[in-house]
Amino acid sequence: MNIREPTALAGAKERGSAAQFEERYLAFRRRKLIYNALFWGGFIACVIAAGITAKFDVFTLLKGLPRTTEFLVKMVPPITLSTFAADIGEWYWGIDKWLNSLLNTLLMAYLATVLGTIVGGALSFLAARNLAPNFLTYWAMRRTLEIARTVPDIVWALLFVMAFGIGPLPGVLAITVHTIGAQGKLFAEVNENVSPLPLDGIRAAGGNWLHEIRYGVIPQVMPNYMSYTFWRIELNVRSATIVGFVGAGGIGHDLFTSIQLLYFADAGAILLIVVVTIMLIDMLSEKFRHSAIGKASFSH
């Protein structure tokens, strides 16, 4: 535009374009409003439909709520300040046994995390599009990991309890299988984001596929692997408790039997142990994860 144009004319033009802009802006707003209304309307309709189909009834919920608190009250025996130590001691009469079970659960989670991470990690290279030797391997590996991951670990545990009998072994196996699937998929996605440059460097120097993985990929992905693994330990402690419900040993088994036998105080005591343990592990793993991620960002 010519800068020597009379200012009045320029103003008129500006006003013209401002009006045009306003018009387009309003049209845009209207369209956006319609889209938003459609989206939220659809969303709410879906929620209501889902609630009806699942027989989610607000009245049943309201009627059931007091019973939940009743149950919670039963889980904590009367404790008075004057006899505090003795009361707690009585509540936790089974502490030795429960701590032993807790240790079992933690070991199950730890073992399953280690085994699952090693196997899942190894398979993740075959499940990464950029690293798999061919498309068929990639595809088959992705599907295998999907099956291992999408079948819930409680279902794996039921299967293994039927096959191997009651005890920690089926629990470890169940969580391991689920961990292989979960870690394999997460690691494969990390693998797909590595820089190809170091890989080219190693191949050009005469390295083979394993060398490329060992020296080109692993140093790049290690911080992310670590972070995912700390998170997985956290999840697996929870899983190891749950699989105990179907006979796979550990503290979950104790919790399940005490509920079945209506020993509510015992159930409360065990539940508190589990909650505190998981909170502690949450905090620890958070700390480790941050230090792992810190290293990752430092490296780039």
The footprint of another protein (CB under 8 A) covers 197-198, 200-208, 210-211, 214-216, 219-220, 222, 299-300
Min separation Cβ 211 and another protein, Å: 5
Q: Are 292 and 225 in contact (CB under 8 A)?
A: no
Residue given tokens 């991951």 in the structure block:
149
Report the residue number, 101 or 220, with the smaller CB distance to another protein.
220
What number of residues does the chain have? 300
Min separation Cβ 170 and another protein, Å: 34
Report the residue number, 54 or 210, with the smaller CB distance to another protein.
210
Report the residue number, 74 or 211, with the smaller CB distance to another protein.
211
Min separation Cβ 213 and another protein, Å: 9
Min separation Cβ 219 and another protein, Å: 4
Q: In the numeric block, which tokens belong to residue 164?
A: 């191997």
Residue given tokens 């140093």 in the structure block:
219
Q: In the numeric block, which tokens belong to residue 246?
A: 């179907």
Distance CA(263)–CA(257), nearest Å, equals: 9
Residue 298, SS3 per DSSP: helix
Report the residue number, 129 or 214, with the smaller CB distance to another protein.
214
Report the residue number, 215 or 263, with the smaller CB distance to another protein.
215
Min separation Cβ 225 and another protein, Å: 13
Report the residue number, 115 or 222, with the smaller CB distance to another protein.
222
Strand (E) or helix (H) holding 102: helix 95-126
Min separation Cβ 273 and another protein, Å: 41
As to burial, measured by CB atoms within 10 angstroms (0-12 exposed, 13-18 middle, 19+ buried), residue 151 is middle
Q: Are 146 and 210 in contact (CB under 8 A)?
A: no
Q: Are 227 and 293 in contact (CB under 8 A)?
A: yes
Distance CA(270)–CA(291), nearest Å, equals: 32
What percent of the residues of the chain are helix, what percent strand, and what percent coil, each to the nearest 5? Answer: 85, 0, 15
Report the residue number, 154 or 222, with the smaller CB distance to another protein.
222
Report the residue number, 128 or 251, with the smaller CB distance to another protein.
128
Q: In the numeric block, which tokens belong to residue 118?
A: 């090693």
Min separation Cβ 214 and another protein, Å: 5
User: Over the Cα atoms of the chain, what is R_g?
Assistant: 29
Strand (E) or helix (H) holding 63: helix 58-75
Question: At 80, which amino acid appears?
Answer: T
Min separation Cβ 205 and another protein, Å: 5
